[in-house]
Amino acid sequence: MAEQTIKFTISGMHCVNCAMTIERRLKDLQGIKSVRVNFSNVTGIVTYDSDVTNKSSITKYIKDIGYRAQEQTRLDQASKSHIQMGWLVFGILASIVMMVLMYVPMPEKIHAYMPYMLMIIATATLLGPGMDFFISAYKSIKNFSANMDVLVSMGILSSYLYSTLAIFGIFGMLGHAFFETAVMLIAFIRIGKYLEERVKGRASHALQKLMKLQADKARLLSPEGKELEVKASSVHVGDKVVVRAGEAIPVDGEVVEGISSVDESMVTGESMPVVKQKGDSVVGATINKTGVLIVKATRVGEETVLSQIINMVEEAQMDKAPIQRFADMVSNIFVPVVVGLSLLTFICWYFVFHNLAGQLPFLWALKMAIAVLVIACPCAMGLATPTAILVGSGVGLDHSILIKRASALEGIARLDTIVFDKTGTMTEGHFVVSDIVPSSNVSESELIQLAAAGCAFSNHPLARSVVDEANARKLTWGAVQNFQEETGSGIVCQYHGKDLFIGNEGLMSAHGIKIEAQDKINELYAHGKSLMYIAHDHAYMGVLGLTDRIKRNARDVVSQLKQMNIRVVMMTGDNEQVAKSVASEAGIEEYRARVLPAEKREIIKDFQRHGKKVGMVGDGINDAPALAQADVGIAIGAGTDVAKETGDIVLVKNDMMDVVRAIQLGRQTLSKVRQNLFWAFFYNVVGIPIAAGVLYPFFGISLKPEYAGLAMAFSSVSVVTNSLLLKRIALQ
């Protein structure tokens, strides 16, 4: 089986039910593995077995069910908006003309032909700006579903057909016509849809901004040394490109010549430019600030970090959060229920309460039934979750927080336990010399000098830290001879013709070297320091204490998580003393020491068995099993490898406070989803009875169909607008 995934831009969708119809029908197609269609960003992602079906078959099938799909392209929104605006203006002008004809005094000759003039205007409106509703309704019924446009079309056609029959006296229905209802319904709903599209466009602003960062052009360096300006998409792996000051780097690659400072804020969130020279890696779309760089392409096109980030965000916006399932279930049965309520309304007013009607019973009952049809809005429920997810993931993107799945955005809001890895997550991930305890025979500088001489030939992290300390002190040293590195013990060599030993207590003991200042050593050990003993010419010279420092704001992060009623736990493979020391410094009471990578997953599972919602924060590599097991996996400090991380959420900057920000974002997004769903349900629960006329017998309040249509149109706008308020949240 050859499994492939294709991304489509889908046109012709009018509401969330359309997206659900496409999903349902495509799943019936042989060879289709999974389908996700998002009405908010008119995108579909299909995974299929290429041995059974192909892209053209999928595209044709989508067309057959009434929609149009284009692979990896974006709709020409400008031309689409132009057409929609034309129909909107047409509908508004038709409404104005109709109102003038109806309410402005006219000569008797014109008045006699007024019903026919109104019919002509209404007919033109139905065949023009109203045709989209009828086509969409036909598609929906053809696919054995019912979307919002089915309700709208029934309302429009009911008022139009009744009015037509009335002016011609067909079936004895001579009397009042209300063509204005059909025309104004179309105009008001057009206004609502236009505003909805505008608001949805603002919701995806963050992603659009990211897409604009991609370089269009590249200066390709030919083998002869000539520069050729080409499209960035035509650059291949191994090609060399020239990047001048002020230009965006067109590909991910490696600097082969030149030195310059590069603005990587797009990827890392750090405002300070980073110096790049030969051998350094660069990320596409970052900005070359000063000198000229020659970059060898290592990743191009869809493989670049930026492209993968874009895909990651798009897929998150395509994903359905668990809370959306209920809304989807309600939307599926919503239209048939509303049609039933509309019929019930007509029956009640025409056969039961006809004495209460303020007009002719049939006309009154029909208007009430039409009002019920058009005020109902399944779209508001369908848009409640995806629009909030769309905006929330955009806000995260602005803060260098990448949400890979919508379920993660909801899941992180529900966490009650956060488990941190230690090395590289809670701590900086590299050792520094924190304590220098020389014997009486040497000074601190001399002790560091001796240690650096032996460590200079080693690649061990502790050894490199000692060399860094010596360099920082601007110390110099001579070369050693007969260098040997004893695994698990330390270094044995000769310095100035005398034996030099650098390592742990076991190495000292093996060579008969007596360790001094035991009380100080015990103190260092109690604080979780890694100890490096130094001896020269079989004489004890001193000990160095090395530590992996906790990140600057680790304690503040832990404190804020506790204030948010979240349990904080730390896991590490280090010994008990080191774990205790780091946990104490960070303000963490609960920790697990000497934990192997495979055991981290079991600890997470144990928390979950006790009913906890667990978030795992790690580096995305050694912690991969635990990240996958957790309810939400959070990869921190990803840097340029951001797109490869295992976590559900990727924190691009190496900033622990982003854990707090991600939880705040999740909680705020979930709150907006709940608000949207409440409003959508409240609107329909209150609006439908009012449209049905339940208040009329008591208060004389009724709702004209055209005003019901206006209320329906703006209910969707209000949901999307409420989601947009997420942009105003202040993350710490």
Single out the residue of 570, 530, 572 nearest to residue 547, CA to CA: 530
With tokens 């496409």, the residue in question is: 22
- For 342, the enclosing helix (H) or strand (E) is helix 324-347
Per the structure block, which two tokens stand in for 589? Answer: 């009471």
Q: Using CA atoms, how far apart are residues 36 and 55, in angstroms rounded to an integer? A: 15
With tokens 């003991």, the residue in question is: 509
Q: Which of 421, 648, 655, 658 is catalytic?
A: 421
Q: Using CA atoms, how far apart are residues 193 and 173, in angstroms rounded to an integer? A: 34
Single out the residue of 529, 537, 460 nearest to residue 491, CA to CA: 460
Q: Using CA atoms, how far apart are residues 372 and 690, in angstroms rounded to an integer? A: 8
Q: Using CA atoms, how far apart are residues 241 and 222, in angstroms rounded to an integer? A: 9
> In Å, what is the CA distance from 689 to each residue of 336, 362, 592, 621?
16, 19, 59, 57
Q: Using CA atoms, how far apart are residues 712 and 719, in angstroms rounded to an integer? A: 11
Backbone angles phi and psi of 440, in degrees to 5: -70, -10
Q: Using CA atoms, how far apart are residues 518 and 538, in angstroms rounded to an integer? A: 18
Amino acid present at 379: C
Amino acid present at 287: I
The answer to whether 203 touches 387, Cβ cutoff 8 Å, is: yes
Per the structure block, which two tokens stand in for 323? Answer: 């809370």
> In Å, what is the CA distance from 581 to each residue of 483, 530, 596?
34, 12, 19
Per the structure block, which two tokens stand in for 57? Answer: 């078959």
The Cβ of residue 459 has, within 10 Å, a number of other Cβ atoms equal to: 8
Helix axes 114-127, 148-168, angle to 10 degrees: 160
Q: Using CA atoms, how far apart are residues 451 and 592, in angstroms rounded to an integer? A: 33
> Does the active-site annotation cover 239?
no
Contacts by residues 552-557 (CB-CB < 8 Å, ≥ 24 positions apart): 553/655, 553/656, 553/657, 554/426, 554/427, 554/585, 554/586, 554/656, 555/585, 555/586, 555/587, 556/657, 557/656, 557/657, 557/659, 557/660
Q: Please report, for the chain, how many H helices and E strands are present, in that order.
A: 26, 26
The answer to whether 712 touches 659, Cβ cutoff 8 Å, is: no
Single out the residue of 496, 518, 320, 465 nearest to residue 405, CA to CA: 320
Contacts of 121 (CB under 8 A, 6+ apart): 94, 97, 98, 101, 179, 183
> In Å, what is the CA distance from 352 to each residue of 90, 345, 371?
40, 10, 18
- For 437, the enclosing helix (H) or strand (E) is strand 427-438
The alpha carbon of 161 is separated from its chain's Cα centroid by a whole number of angstroms, namely 47
Q: Using CA atoms, how far apart are residues 449 and 443, in angstroms rounded to an integer? A: 10
Backbone angles phi and psi of 19, in degrees to 5: -60, -40
The answer to whether 307 touches 267, Cβ cutoff 8 Å, is: no
Q: Using CA atoms, how far apart are residues 562 and 585, in angstroms rounded to an integer? A: 15
Point out the residues that are catalytic: 421
